[in-house]
Chain A
């Protein structure tokens, strides 16, 4: 008998905060983390000292790690985690914090992701991102993830008949969503024609397939449902959560992600089916990955992603709301905060804080994470289903 994984009953997520994104900043990551925690304190009514758990996700914090942040900000948590896994950090932080709360290791955990972006920091991050990138991908044109995802996209298009228009639908609908998000970096509508006409970056990747690196922070609190109720905080509950790393490593080029390995367990935990999900926040470093998540998370079969996006409107008020904040493609990618964007947005949708872009009558949302292109693919995948409290 294997020891069955325990559920996430009784865990609440609350107080989604965003430190507004800016294209470049002269501040360090600590500044953004400080602002995020200040916002958590103000919005929750808790004292800083009552936050007794902390997770930090950041690339530009180096050489500091999470513990350096405690001294910088004068905090003394009894539970601490450093989660430098980029696009998967939101799901991973939530999973770890939830277990800490269930086990009693912490009562209130602040999960924070923040990165600054100096004028030249993106190039420097790319060159030293991982040992494998330094040795085996960066010397090849120094295109960063664009070149890797160009391979993945071109292969997917050939294999499954996807077209640029199919990916364009994803980008265009996300832009529509972003126009209702005051925190989004992009303020102008995007048409499919503009998407198609954009300049090439790494064929078949064009400008609007790429995120814009920026500076900013996203954060939320994890605590018990009882505690959230006591504090009178609007909150969502964790219905299920999975993660998987370095899945399908024998696939010569990425055509599927680790979500596929564990998705049945995810839906079983949540006692729900893919059909029951009211909105998804996919990880959108490139549209092809969004399409793969639709498939690997069970919204359509492998290879049916193109037909799926042709059949659905993916705006907040459409038949399949996806990335209702605009996602990173239209809100911006604030480094590791890009891995939190879907989480803060999902909490907002489920706590009535999504303003003009609220998904009508949303009760169940799915947030997926995807992170760390160390060589030829992203290694970390994860997903969480959040719901309104019963």
Chain B
């Protein structure tokens, strides 16, 4: 059984900060299919559409019947551990700093043998295990052998914490605490064991509903933060930038309507100023320090979360300018992900459907409850997932968008949500 992770002692600032060295991140184009699935939390392998043989390692033609029709297909991961080893030596700097490291060879019930990282709760071969895919610190999919039986502190496994961004004992900045989503996030992070939650408040002199309640939590420290104001962002970064382990940007401006129902660009500019430029200001101010601490012990800096919108994938005309600002923010988030990857910081993009708040008043249900969004985000951090589409609406849009983005555009233009 995994021992619970203990709160690490305060860091001695004189000691060396461990620098991030990534695990080997090179993959062939075909193998990236496994990464694409793992980024959304799924374990998929190629299955031959002609003879049903499951393939591994990823390849271009079926090893049994030579068909090129190999389809990425969800796997249960059920299998048997055939053999295991503990590495005491590695040729790679990332693993050298993390030895000893346990590995296994697992035969899936559907056939192939997989080399996997082994969870500490898995015993000696032969034993039943469940294989799952996770992103490693290089952002590439790797396979992990999990025990068949879940245990309480499973997430605290040393190897697993290298893959995930669990908030436990970490220090988090939530950029906007005045909204229902912001407050639900604070509650969820505290419940997940976050050490400190700094909560941004653009207008600290205003009394807002729910604010007193979260301010009273011992883990919570309110901080002034206005994403439209570069000076405000820089000042906060100067104060806490070197301590934040997870940045969670949920600040947004959301107004209804598209182009014809309004005059001028003021509303659209206000949306862009927070949703796009605010994210940019935040990334410029907090990105550097976050990157430099990505390997700083078992509770080091680990993730950057952008709360976007499912409308970022395809414009929803009744919320047209908002959709555009979120599409811009999504594009920027992809850039941020590319810039963060060499440091091992995971950028998590969250694409909720309509949230059950005042700005989606006119939307019919189902809508996403703030608490459900918050728990989906915490789960994504714990699972090390990169792209999150929480709730039924987002899942359905995603499916339609993956199926045919042009058809979805037509449906949305016709008012179909």
A residues whose Cβ falls under 8 Å from a Cβ of B:
122-123, 126-128, 131-132, 134-144, 146-148, 150-152, 154-155, 158, 199-205, 249, 252-253, 375-376
A139 to B86, alpha carbons, bound, how many Å?
Answer: 15
Instruction: Report the tally of A-B residue pairs with Cβ distances under 8 A.
Output: 123
A138 to B28, alpha carbons, bound, how many Å?
Answer: 13
Q: Is B82 an interface residue (CB 8 A)?
A: yes
Q: Interface 1/0s, chain B 79-107, versus A by CB < 8 A?
A: 00011111111111011000001011101
Contact A142 B95 (CB under 8 A): yes
Q: Is B324 an interface residue (CB 8 A)?
A: no
Contact B107 A252 (CB under 8 A): yes
Residues from chain B with Cβ under 8 Å of A148 in the complex: 115
Contact A134 B28 (CB under 8 A): yes
Question: B90: nearest residue on chain A (CB-CB)?
Answer: A142
Question: How far in angstroms is the closest Cβ of chain A from B234?
Answer: 38
Contact B103 A141 (CB under 8 A): yes
Contact B142 A132 (CB under 8 A): no
Residues from chain B with Cβ under 8 Å of A205 in the complex: 85
Question: B106: nearest residue on chain A (CB-CB)?
Answer: A252
Question: How far in angstroms is the closest Cβ of chain B from A136?
Answer: 4
Q: Is B11 an interface residue (CB 8 A)?
A: no
A122 to B113, alpha carbons, bound, how many Å?
Answer: 26
Residues from chain A with Cβ under 8 Å of B152 in the complex: none
Contact B125 A154 (CB under 8 A): yes
Residues from chain B with Cβ under 8 Å of A135 in the complex: 27-28, 30-31, 57-58
Given A141-B92, A151-B84, A200-B88, 17 more pairs with CB closer than 8 A: A134-B28, A136-B56, A136-B58, A137-B115, A139-B136, A142-B23, A148-B115, A150-B85, A151-B83, A154-B84, A154-B125, A155-B82, A155-B105, A252-B107, A253-B82, A253-B83, A375-B57
Question: B32: nearest residue on chain A (CB-CB)?
Answer: A135
Contact B140 A139 (CB under 8 A): yes
Question: How far in angstroms is the closest Cβ of chain A from B253?
Answer: 42
For B, the interface residue count at a CB cutoff of 8 angstroms equals 40
A147 to B85, alpha carbons, bound, how many Å?
Answer: 7
CB-contact partner of B90 in A132, A141, A252, under 8 A:
A141
Contact A143 B140 (CB under 8 A): no
A151 to B114, alpha carbons, bound, how many Å?
Answer: 12
Contact A158 B125 (CB under 8 A): yes
Question: How far in angstroms is the closest Cβ of chain A from B22?
Answer: 10
Residues from chain B with Cβ under 8 Å of A127 in the complex: 24, 26, 92
Contact B57 A151 (CB under 8 A): no
Nearest first, the 6 A-B pairs at minimum CB distance are A142-B92, A150-B85, A136-B57, A135-B31, A151-B83, A252-B107
Question: How far in angstroms is the closest Cβ of chain B from A379?
Answer: 13
Residues from chain A with Cβ under 8 Å of B113 in the complex: 252-253, 376
Residues from chain A with Cβ under 8 Å of B103 in the complex: 140-141, 143, 147, 150-151, 202
A126 to B24, alpha carbons, bound, how many Å?
Answer: 11
CB-CB under 8 A for A143 and B87, given A123-B92, A131-B28, A253-B105: yes
Residues from chain A with Cβ under 8 Å of B84 in the complex: 151, 154
Question: B108: nearest residue on chain A (CB-CB)?
Answer: A252
A-B contact pairs, 5 of them (CB 8 A): A136-B115, A139-B140, A141-B117, A150-B103, A202-B87
Q: Interface 1/0s, chain B 103-131, versus A by CB < 8 A?
A: 11101000001111100000001000000
Question: How far in angstroms is the closest Cβ of chain B from A127?
Answer: 6
A131 to B125, alpha carbons, bound, how many Å?
Answer: 28
